[in-house]
């Protein structure tokens, strides 16, 4: 399809910390956004020129207009690739995720149909690619390039340290331990009875309290040695992780590889004894029959799967049973590579190997059935993949392990272990603990809730369509151009949230200082305004699919405006579930969002007003 939209591009000098810069950009971003790191490069994308959501039986997508829906009968990733080929964006790059349940759907296996999204991708409106030596900026709107450059220039020279003083949220690593031991024991019986050879069984660990996902990403990345790292907010699902391995890597010239990691031992970085214990565990890992068998069968299956899409004679094992350090653990690692056969592309390669053999089992069909039987809830993004793909045919998919998840006010971790006939339940449980520590020790609590003068300033600045930094505490807001109708509408929203406030008292003394003093402790039917915001609110529904019961074209209707309490939360700076903590502070990129929304409304783009109105009417 002929491209109708061309990115504006700019290269800018950058000698700062790319991780800190990526975190800064993410903290200032409204959903959807993604951060994806590979090979020393951080890729940040925000906004959506196009959005694609694959479900079990249909694919929904939009690009500059309303949602379109196409049925999917078979080969779901081929259907997704066909839709991408129609997107009218030159030299696009897409970012997003694929959930574990895509695997049974791709394989055509019987079983319950998931009503959740299987894949969610965006082609971002703004993109920054960062290394230690420079930054490449792309934006659909040229005005955004200046704003992105300003945000990068404001990145501190040294990493932020303020989050270190916050208490660490509690992740109960013993949650469900007894159930997990019993599950492993039953799986061992299945394996010894010949029903399958290997299965990876996981368990969920809840996190007590909301976390600051951006700060957790930055701290966790500095304390881990992942193959890939990521941070995302798509369709109501938020996650950050430190992937130990790739599911598949496809170059634009057709070279393809996968990196199975299986076989695990603890790794503490020599903190206690200079590395002597780590070296001993490494040697034991290399000679343990159970770990070697677990790894060997994974490599065997990886070869069989890639052979389906590779040219004959090109498949090789480049590396076998090396030991790689990944945060709090070390793994046996191999790499299998080849060259794609004519007629196959990166999406075919992903379909062939997804989900990773190291997160499912052998054979895969039996492992899917065992996972469904033994694990009490669907995996979703866990053990799926975070994906970066491009119009040139390249594709990179990171296995989603060592990850913190947030959705609908819930925060959790998840980890698993490979179970074979020689497995011992206690050892497999300990392996999950070792993996969970790669994330749990880096969790950062969300900022404490409290009335926030700067949040009120941003609300007022939005009404004035000005920079918050230009609005003083004592400025007369009517003299600055505040329209009465805008204030009336805002008062109405606050009153619907339960806040006792009226237009006359705000108009009597129209300054930020007076409003803050008036509203911070204002009683309501449910307590103070701050209590209403903290206790009764949830984030606005995104104007796009969010899975079962989510916003957008499937589930609850999206785009109905901000739910009760959201304006109060925004006014007072109270963290809302989901994206709350991230939205409490805005770096200079707030202007990108505000200006971008106004422009999108005029051109009816993916996040524009007319598009949101179409959702209301849907």
pLDDT in tens, 36-57: 999 999 999 999 999 999 999 9
Which domains can be identified in the chain, with CATH numbers?
453-574 (1.10.1200.10)
Kindly provide the residue ranges of all beta strands, DSSP E only, lying in 456-569, ordered along the sequence: 523-524, 527-528
pLDDT in tens, 172-224: 999 999 999 999 999 999 999 999 999 999 999 999 988 999 999 999 999 99
Gap between the Cα atoms of 304 and 321, Å rounded: 18
Q: What is the DSSP letter of 459?
A: H
* Mean pLDDT taken over the chain: 82
Confidence check: pLDDT of 25 > 80: yes
| Torsional sign, CA 361, 365, 369, 375 | positive
Lowest pLDDT segment from 304-313, 369-378, 468-477, 594-603: 594-603
Radius of gyration of the chain from Cα atoms? 25
Question: Hey, is 491 helix, strand or coil?
Answer: helix
CB 47 within 8 A of CB 126: yes
For the chain, percent of residues with pLDDT exceeding 70: 80
In DSSP terms, 139 is beta-bridged to 8, 126
Q: Which one is catalytic: 101, 127, 210, 245? A: 245
The answer to whether residue 430 is catalytic is no
Gap between the Cα atoms of 261 and 319, Å rounded: 11
Gap between the Cα atoms of 55 and 114, Å rounded: 8
Question: Span 79-96, mean pLDDT?
Answer: 96
Residue 528 CB coordination number (10 Å): 18
Lowest pLDDT segment from 391-395, 525-529, 605-609: 605-609
Gap between the Cα atoms of 499 and 515, Å rounded: 13
| Torsional sign, CA 572, 513, 466, 8 | negative
Confidence check: pLDDT of 28 > 80: yes
Angle among Cα 340, 342, 348 to the nearest 5 degrees reads 55
Q: How far is CA 349 from the centre of its chain?
A: 23
Higher pLDDT: 156 or 354? It is: 354
Confidence check: pLDDT of 24 > 50: yes
Listed in sequence order, the residues at least 6 apart from 43 whose beta carbon sits closer than 8 Å to its beta carbon are 34, 35, 36, 37, 93, 95, 127, 128, 129, 130, 388
Both tokens assigned to 616? 């209301």
Confidence check: pLDDT of 447 > 90: no
Confidence check: pLDDT of 348 > 60: yes
């Amino acid at each position: 399809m002929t491209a109708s939209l061309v990115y504006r591009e700019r290269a800018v000098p950058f000698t700062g910390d790319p991780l800190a810069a990526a975190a800064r950009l993410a903290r200032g971003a409204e959903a959807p956004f993604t951060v994806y790191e590979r090979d020393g490069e951080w890729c940040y994308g925000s906004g959506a020129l196009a959005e694609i959501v694959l479900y079990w039986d249909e694919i929904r997508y939009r690009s500059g207009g309303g949602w379109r829906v196409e049925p999917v009968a078979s080969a779901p990733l081929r259907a997704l690739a066909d839709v991408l080929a129609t997107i009218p964006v030159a030299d696009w790059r897409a970012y997003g995720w694929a959930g574990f349940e895509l695997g049974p759907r791709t394989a055509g296996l019987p079983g319950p149909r998931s009503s959740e999204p299987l894949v969610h991708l965006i082609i971002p409106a703004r993109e920054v690619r960062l290394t230690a030596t420079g930054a490449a900026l792309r934006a659909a709107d040229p005005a955004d390039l200046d704003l992105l450059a300003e945000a990068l220039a404001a990145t501190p020279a040294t990493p932020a340290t303020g989050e270190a003083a916050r208490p660490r949220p509690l992740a109960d690593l013993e949650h469900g331990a007894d159930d997990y031991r019993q599950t492993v024991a039953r799986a061992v019986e299945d394996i010894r009875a010949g029903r399958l050879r290997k299965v990876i069984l996981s368990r969920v660990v809840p996190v007590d309290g909301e976390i600051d996902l951006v700060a957790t990403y930055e701290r966790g990345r500095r304390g881990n040695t992942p193959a890939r790292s990521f941070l995302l907010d798509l369709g109501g699902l938020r996650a950050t992780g430190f992937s130990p391995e790739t599911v598949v890597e496809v170059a634009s010239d057709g070279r393809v590889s996968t990196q199975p990691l299986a076989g695990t031992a603890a790794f503490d970085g020599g903190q206690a004894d200079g590395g002597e214990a780590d070296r001993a565990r490494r040697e034991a890992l290399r000679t343990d029959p159970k770990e070697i068998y677990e790894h060997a069968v994974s490599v065997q299956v990886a070869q069989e799967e890639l052979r389906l899409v590779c040219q004959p004679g090109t498949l090789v094992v480049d590396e076998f049973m090396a030991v790689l350090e990944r945060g709090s653990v070390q793994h046996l690692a191999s790499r299998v590579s080849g060259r794609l056969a004519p007629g196959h592309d990166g999406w075919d390669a992903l379909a062939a190997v997804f989900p990773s053999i190291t997160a499912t089992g052998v054979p895969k069909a039996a492992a899917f059935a065992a996972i469904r039987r033994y694990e009490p809830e669907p995996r979703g993004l866990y053990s799926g993949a975070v994906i970066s793909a491009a119009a040139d045919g390249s594709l990179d998919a990171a296995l989603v392990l060592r990850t913190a998840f947030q959705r609908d006010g819930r925060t959790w971790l998840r980890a698993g272990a490979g179970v074979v006939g020689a497995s011992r339940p206690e050892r497999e449980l300990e392996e999950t603990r070792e993996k969970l520590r790669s994330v749990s020790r880096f969790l950062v609590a969300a900022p404490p809730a409290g009335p926030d003068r700067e949040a009120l300033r941003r609300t007022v600045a939005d009404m004035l369509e000005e920079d918050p930094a230009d609005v003083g505490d004592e400025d007369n807001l009517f003299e600055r151009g505040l329209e009465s109708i805008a204030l009336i509408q805002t008062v109405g929203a606050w009153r619907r949230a339960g806040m006792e406030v009226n237009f006359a008292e705000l108009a009597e003394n129209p300054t930020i200082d007076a409003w803050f003093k008036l509203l911070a402790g204002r009683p309501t039917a449910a307590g103070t305004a701050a209590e209403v915001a903290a206790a009764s609110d949830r984030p606005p529904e995104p104007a796009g699919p969010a899975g079962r019961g989510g916003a957008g074209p499937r589930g609850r209707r999206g785009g109905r405006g901000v739910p009760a309490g959201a304006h109060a939360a925004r006014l007072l700076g109270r963290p809302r579930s989901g994206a709350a903590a991230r939205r409490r502070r805005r770096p200079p990129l707030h202007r990108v969002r505000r200006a971008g929304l106004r422009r999108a409304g005029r051109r009816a783009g993916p996040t524009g007003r007319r598009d949101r109105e179409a959702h209301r009417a849907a």
